[in-house]
Amino acid sequence: MPRLDKEATKLYNREYSRKYYGYKGGVYRAKGHGPTQRERQLGRSGFTLSEYSELCVFGCAICGHKERTLNADHCHKTNLRREVLCRNCNIGLGHFNDDPEKLRMAALYVEAWRVRHAEVNKNAS
């Protein structure tokens, strides 16, 4: 069986999704069913879809990067919502267990090595 080109496949899938799953501008929802997976995920973090969309306009709260999908950040101890973060910043906070002191120490470490590398490059010239 010959394969269709990518554009034809994409068009077919889009039309199929509209017809059978109610695809509407980036949000898939089975007709007549409850909230989307994204809405359930946001609900666990205390965000509504409209609040999340408003925050996404500004991008990641740490680095400002605007990705297609940002993560709804929340405190794991209190379960209170915070802001939206890009994947890298969200994972970074998780690795440091949301501990500001560990994050400060990591920043000092990186800055100290930047200075050392600058000195080495200066002396090598």
Residue type, 95: H
- Residue 36's contacts (CB-CB under 8 Å, 6 or more residues apart) are 27, 28, 29
Which of 83, 8, 96, 92 lies closest to 42 in space, CA to CA?
83
Consecutive H or E run containing 43: helix 37-45
14-51 per-position pLDDT tens digit: 777 766 665 555 555 555 556 667 777 777 777 788 88
64-83 per-position pLDDT tens digit: 998 878 888 888 788 788 89
Predicted model pTM: 0.60
Domain boundaries, the chain: 1-34, 36-118
- CATH superfamily, domain 36-118, is His-Me finger endonucleases (3.40.1800.10)
Q: For the chain, how big is the Rg over CA atoms in Å?
A: 22
Q: How far apart are CA 24 and CA 53, in angstroms?
A: 15
